[in-house]
Amino acid sequence: MSLQVFLQARLLGAEDFLSGQTEQTETVGDLIGRGAWLTLFGEVLPRALLAELKLSRMLLGSSSAEQFLLVLAEEDIPRANDFLNNAGSKIAELSSGKLQLVWASTENLGAWPVVRKRLEDALAARVCCPISQSSAGERFEPFRVQASEGNGAVFANFAQVIISAQTIGWSPDEPLLLAWDTGRHQWRLTEHAAPDEDSILFPRRFAMNEEGGEPASLHELAERAEGADRWGILRGDVDHFEIQLRRAASIEDHLQLSALFKQFFAGELAVLCALPEFWRKVSVIYRGGDDFVVLGSWDALILFARELQRLFEKFAEQHLANLPGVEAKTISMALVLAPALESSAAAVAAEASIELRASKSSELGSIHLFGRTLEWKRLNDAEELKAGLVRLVREFRYPPGYLNDLAAVYRESKIVRETIAGSLRRGKAQRIDKPWRTYLRLSRVIPPPRGKEQTSVRNAVITNLIGKRGAGLKLRPSGRVGLEWARLEASA
């Protein structure tokens, strides 16, 4: 009887690959193509491996955009290594060295935590020394890098047929290894999970142009926003999902947890993008096993992030309540707006990745928005402030310029705080004995009220800016977010 072996593979460098080129461009086809390719490759590669070895689909344990787990017989490992070596070489060449495929295998001996630990240690060794995974003839061959312009064209072409394709195929002769509706091996693309058939879950949700033939351009997405014409990219990631995976007591628990999160993101992203407030404004670029990237109008992305976090909170309460710890029970997101309409989508995606990492390192379960990191519950405070500020402009005819004056007050209070901090560092005591000054500055900026309702809105705005205590040499982070939100929405 042959020995059963687990094979686990990971695709490293996905964030750098998704960022792609950083040249100024008005098209979004390259980003959509890269996102679709990255989402599908981790699903297609293990299936292609099993098909090439003429093995059953039932041997596929779990698969997502960046990793997969297979069960093989011991005698199949040499052929699997050859297949993955060839695929890894083409992936590195295709991505100009940004993507790296690493894998490891170990016998199914002992409890699952022991087996998993051996796999993790072997994968870590491959990451630290990738040359050990190459064949002797490949170690000293010159590395061939394709031109970045060519790569962009290939991925843009890959994105052109994404809307109507029925199947995805594996073809070693294709430049991208994947092909729509053709290939040596093909699998049907489905909108919903179908565990009883060999299909791939791949919901496609794109904000289409006015003709409906292809995804909307960056300019079109910006023009569909209410207020300022801006577009942005939202990235999200489950906090410490890998720690919860390591705690799985059996392979069944590991596979169930992986499938649960993948189906949540695939399903909920598809449902949200079909809602009236999002279907013309938001496009799904990438969906992984525990993370996602979406592109769209700035105003829709804020509401999209809040709604997805609410759904994830309900999902965690229902499915993860019995799991130990708080890991994988919160989600963090970062929204970055393009500085200009003609900005590169790749550059904005790279900035969103940086901001997401910074946000997760400072506070888990938060959103980075307008340069500030907020707890999710504080986003409601920012929205309440935004609503009050916009109402003062639209209903009570306040001049829109007063929002800029409020921002100047915030910058002024920041300078005061920095001055006080500098005095303390120099050993000089600085007494804060006039906390009402910030309130007076805000009162001067916002014109005096002319009625009971207007007074109520005005007082609520000031309270949301500096808090109920008014101990005011600084405005709250949610106040800054609400202020910037209102400036964009009130902009003509």
Span 140-173, pLDDT tens digits: 455 444 434 445 578 888 888 888 899 999 988 8
The structure tokens 């709604």 sit at: 307
Of the listed ranges 11-25, 39-53, 462-476, the least confidently predicted one is: 462-476
Nearest to 473 by CA among 429, 420, 424: 420
Nearest to 202 by CA among 190, 193, 194: 190
For residues 242 and 452, the model is more confident at: 242
Which pLDDT value is given to residue 443? 63
Nearest to 389 by CA among 478, 306, 303, 281: 478
Q: Quote the percentage of the chain above a pLDDT of 70.
A: 80
pTM of the entire predicted model? 0.86
Q: Average pLDDT in the 461-490 region? A: 73
Which pLDDT value is given to residue 491? 78
**pLDDT at residue 439 tops 60:** no
User: What is the H or E stretch that residue 102 is in?
Assistant: strand 100-107
CB-based contact 85:135 (threshold 8 Å): yes
Which pLDDT value is given to residue 114? 94
Position 27 confidence tier, pLDDT thresholds 50, 70, 90: low
Q: Average pLDDT in the 235-245 region? A: 94
Q: Average pLDDT in the 289-300 region? A: 94
Helix, coil or strand: residue 175:
coil
Cα-flanking dihedrals φ and ψ of residue 238, to 5°? -70, 140
**pLDDT at residue 43 tops 90:** yes
Spell out the alpha helix ranges (H) of 291-435.
298-319, 345-362, 376-394, 401-425
For residues 242 and 428, the model is more confident at: 242
Beta bridge partners of residue 158, listed in sequence order: none
Which pLDDT value is given to residue 150? 44
Q: Average pLDDT in the 89-104 region? A: 91
Position 313 confidence tier, pLDDT thresholds 50, 70, 90: very high
Encode pLDDT of 394-434 as tens digits.
Answer: 887 777 777 777 777 665 444 444 544 454 455 544 444 34
- The burial class, CB within 10 Å (0-12 / 13-18 / 19+), for 73 is middle
Which pLDDT value is given to residue 145? 44
Which pLDDT value is given to residue 23? 47
**pLDDT at residue 124 tops 70:** yes
Which pLDDT value is given to residue 413? 46
Mean pLDDT over each residue of the chain, to the nearest integer? 83
Which pLDDT value is given to residue 97? 86
Which pLDDT value is given to residue 391? 85
**pLDDT at residue 106 tops 50:** yes
What sign does the CA torsion over 177, 258, 349, 355 have?
negative
C-alpha to C-alpha distance for 165 and 146, rounded to whole angstroms: 27
The structure tokens 């300022």 sit at: 228
**pLDDT at residue 190 tops 50:** yes
The structure tokens 């993101």 sit at: 265
Which pLDDT value is given to residue 147? 39
Which pLDDT value is given to residue 416? 44
**pLDDT at residue 362 tops 60:** yes
Which pLDDT value is given to residue 417? 46
**pLDDT at residue 108 tops 80:** yes
For residues 198 and 427, the model is more confident at: 198
C-alpha to C-alpha distance for 175 and 151, rounded to whole angstroms: 9
